[in-house]
Structure 1
Amino acid sequence: MGMDKPTIVVAIKNDTDDLKELSDFFNGVEEEEIPVSVKKFEFNSATERAYQAALSSHLSVGIGFDDKSVIVHYKNLHEDEPLFVADKSNKVNLRILGANAARLVKGVPFKKLN
C-alpha cells in the first residue's frame, strides 16, 4: 500500500455536498500549488469537521463548510477556534482563503481578507 500524498483535507458531511460552490477556494489553493483531498466526516458543525480534517491531514490543515461559511482549521489550534472563517458568498475572499490555507502549509505570510 502506497503512502498517501500529503494534502489539505476538505471535510464533507455527505456525498451530496456541492463542491462547485467552493471552486474559488480550490482555485486559491491551486495557485499556491498545494494538493487537496476530500474526506467524509460525520460531525454536525462545519468547525468540528474542519478540525477533524486538520487532524487527519498530513499537512495539519483542514477545511469545513456549511450553507454560509467556509472554515480553515489548523490541528494545533483549539477545536472551537478556527484560523479563518469566511462568508461563502464572497468569491474574492474564498479565493484568498484558499491561498491562505495553502500558505499556512508553506509557512509564508497570509493574504489579507477583504
Structure 2
Amino acid sequence: MPIDTDKPSILIAVTTEDAFPTDLKPLLNGIEEEEIPVTTRVIDESTATERAYQAALASRLSVGLGFDDQEIVVHYKNLPAEQPLFRVNRHDTARFRALGANAARLVKGVPFKSLKD
C-alpha cells in the first residue's frame, strides 16, 4: 500500500513499514467495498488506541485505525483521544470486514453496519 499524504484517505497506523499483517485483509476489503481510499503510515505510539487517534489526526478524512496483538481500533479526530469509536478483539476475525466498512461509512456519513453476531 503506497503512502500518499496528499491523497484524502483513511489512515492505518503501523509500527514499521512492513507491519500490515495479512490476517487483516478483510479490514481493507471492508473499506474498499465502500470505495474510500486507505493508506498506511508508521506511527510510533505505545497503544493501538493512541496510534489510531494519531492516524485520525493525520488523515485528511479524519479517520484512523490502529491495531496491536489484542485489538483493532477505529478513531475519529473529534473524539477524545482515549475514547475511540470502535474496538474489536483481534481474534474476532468475523468482524474485521464490517469494522473496515464502518470506518469508511464514518467518512461517508451513512449508518454503520452491526458489529454484533
Counterpart CA distance in 1 for 2:5 and 2:12 is: 19
Counterpart CA distance in 2 for 1:18 and 1:95 is: 15
Size of the aligned set, in residue pairs, is 113
Counterpart CA distance in 1 for 2:5 and 2:101 is: 25
CA RMSD of aligned residues (A): 1.5
Cα deviation, residue 112, structure 1: 0.6
**Does 2:66 match 1:64?**
yes
2:90 corresponding residue in structure 1: 88
Percent same amino acid among aligned pairs? 53
Counterpart CA distance in 2 for 1:95 and 1:3 is: 24
Contact residue 74 and residue 86 of structure 2 kept, 8 A: yes
The counterpart of 2:113, out of the listed 75, 100, 111, is: 111
Calculate the TM-score normalised by the size of structure 2: 0.91
Calculate the TM-score normalised by the size of structure 1: 0.94
**Does 2:103 match 1:101?**
yes
